Structure 1
């Protein structure tokens, strides 16, 4: 990797490092963050090695998948259609979410100035200019927000600036898409009345509403309720890989019309046209998705949303230290320097200015 470009820096739409650290023993978390252990996708040394400028750090409440099934084997052999996990009550979700928010702030405190939790696009830009890794606090699934929505004010005061109303399981706010291949994101009802209230309050607080994982009707409801740019932080193109998780051309057209943004997900099961998880896929699927997204959205509305520490990623990348190989693949595909810079961070900065403010 030493001969490959570590610039321009990459700002990323999604990772699950907080989940990995939360699952670790508390006494091990600082070591895993500051020095790493060669496992997972993210730690501070590998971020620096890969030219990782920062991104959205997800607060995500895990839930067991349905028992008695070999989920990995099913996803390795499409077609598949997995039952959604049960909803997670707020009493279970809220302590976990608070713990993850605390872990993110501790990461900032122990990093000796190398890592900062940001509240505005201006803060992210200053971090980029100064070589500091910038974090946006994100919530993937709003289980930790109760029906009175009061907790949203608390999480916002603690730094929350991006929220997806659902992961896949249903919430009191809406419905996510299941793990299904092949499939279409039009899988059920849209936002609930509480979900509509949540989107309106996010607009008032300038919290970005993430469309990744929402089903088609929920996507349309957010578009009707919000006047902000439409953003999917970590999604791929349904026209290339027909997963329920991927965005249709109709949805991409709506994102383009609303001056929004899509961060390309590195999860192999959403990249591969055959829906399998295998990581030995070369660069062609990534480049096909990028070409389709750029062709549909334009060069100023596409970036990356890796899903590091939350998914199997291509062997060509492997972990965050492999991002120089991605930059080299983009250049080898014929993308010029200006487009590569927009994909790496310029487009995210544009949409953050429009959503979070300067």
Structure 2
């Protein structure tokens, strides 16, 4: 490990599986090994010191002809929530994306980790560590049978909603200005889902959840509260970002927030336009102030969002490390933000 890429990064969110699914499915997995378009592949990860992270299974909504990026470049916007997905169709797509993850493991590109010990071993040996995550529970039926099966297949993190309604709750729209007080909380089924995730040791991800849903989880969950890829509403009043009251609840549960690299959630004006690393540092400062130094990590949203050009891809992560050093963060704090804090909260959640 060279000084340029130390400490390594364990990242709270990427959409690599969706990218490969759209590029051809399981057959596209080989391109991840050799190098492919987008933010993350194996050469970029090695070049930037990306040691692993949460690989999201995400079932996209049907294309409706909208140009979301163009709308989010406007001074204000309020994109309508997509419709609820059919559970059977969602499960089919989810399994196809999970198959890509298993194929990547078969190719030796990564290891699917079910414990923190396995993640630590991957970091020590230079193997890319992958946590099987689902962004939105559309693929899971009300009987939770799919949850039980997916857990045994390696699922260790679940966001009950993306930015659309499910049988379990509601998601926040892409709205600026706004906050997460946009709809209902968890349904009775959603509360049962959270309780079963707690029992299994599956992390419950609060990113994309309405404010009401957030507080439902806070009341129900016995695990640390975690938002894998969210930012500070006080600095960017976007519906996707977390208020100080929410940050304080996460702090009190000894949880974690992963800094989202998406420019629209970083900029004060909420616009999908490039921004410098200074915006990321402002959000890190605020999160550290509200959460404490052991409860802040990174949740890039690589391959799922427009990120600052100063980083560009996973190969550009050293630029963020250098910026944190110039900003006055010490080595121990940077190591915690880059990976140590994620390992701490996963150990508390998974129990191993």
TM-score grouping bracket, smaller chain normalisation: over 0.9
Q: Determine the C-alpha separation between the residues in 2 that align with 1:122 and 1:334.
A: 31
- Inter-partner Cα distance in structure 2 for 1:66 and 1:23: 16
Is the 1:5–1:325 contact (alpha carbons within 8 Å) kept by the matching residues of 2?
no
**Conserved 8 A contact 1:12-1:305:** yes
Equivalent residues of 1:66, 1:85 under 8 A apart: no
Asked if the contact 2:75–2:270 (Cα under 8 Å) also holds between the matched residues in 1, the reply is yes
Verify the 8 A CA contact 2:104 2:110 in the aligned structure 1: yes
Corresponding pairs, count: 352
Corresponding residue SS for 2:334: helix
Matched, 1:123 2:127: no
Question: Which residue pairs with 1:19 in the alignment?
Answer: 18
Residues 179-224 of structure 1: CA deviation (Å, up to 9, x unaligned)? 1000011111100010011001101110000000000010011111
Partner of 2:349 in structure 1?
Answer: 355
Query: Any stretches of 5+ residues in structure 2 without a counterpart?
Result: none
Matched, 1:206 2:201: yes
Cα distance change of structure 1 residues 27 and 235 upon mapping to structure 2, 3 Å threshold: closer
Specify which of 224, 240, 243 is matched with residue 245 of structure 1. Answer: 240
CA distance in 2, matches of 1:117, 1:70: 34
Contact 2:26/2:99 (8 A) holds in 1: no
User: Which of 219, 227, 235 in structure 2 is aligned with 1:232?
Assistant: 227
Structure 1 CA distance for aligned equivalents of residues 26 and 280 of structure 2: 38
Partner in structure 2 of residue 307 of structure 1: 301
- The aligned runs of 1:251-270 (5 Å cut-off) are 251-270=246-265
- Shift in Å at residue 271 of structure 1? 0.6
Aligned pairs for 1:1-358 within 5 A:
5-26=4-25, 28-37=27-36, 39-64=37-62, 66-67=64-65, 69-111=66-108, 114-279=109-274, 281-358=275-352
Deviation of the 1:72 alpha carbon = 2.3
- CA drift at 1:345: 0.4
Partner SS for 1:235: coil
Matched position secondary structure for 2:179: coil
2-structure distance, mates of 1:97, 1:22: 10
Q: Does the 8 Å CA contact 2:8/2:50 hold for their aligned counterparts?
A: yes
In 1, distance between residues paired with 2:114 and 2:310? 33
- Secondary structure of 2:5 counterpart: coil
Unpaired stretches in structure 1, ≥5 consecutive residues = none
Report the Cα distance in structure 2 between the residues aligned to 1:13 and 1:152, rounded to whole angstroms.
21
- Going from structure 1 to structure 2, the CA distance change for 1:40 and 1:58 (only over 3 Å counts) comes to same
Does structure 2 conserve the Cα–Cα contact (< 8 Å) formed by 1:66 and 1:83? no
**1:78 shift after superposition:** 2.2
1:132 CA drift (Å): 1.4
Separation (CA, whole Å) in 2 of partners of 1:86 and 1:348: 33
User: Is the Cα contact below 8 Å between 1:94 and 1:143 reproduced in 2?
Assistant: yes
CA distance in 2, matches of 1:49, 1:139: 27
- Give per-residue Cα distances to partners, 1:40-71, cap 9 Å, x unaligned: 1010011000000100000000013544x443
Contact 1:4 1:328 in 2 (8 A): no
TM, length-normalised to structure 2: 0.97
1:356 to partner: Cα distance: 1.2
| 1:3-36 deviation per Cα after TM superposition (whole angstroms, max 9, x unaligned) | 9721100000000000011111247513321111
Say whether the 8 Å CA contact 1:167–1:213 is kept in structure 2: yes
Other structure's SS at 2:56 match: strand
For the aligned residue pairs, the C-alpha RMSD in angstroms reads: 1.4
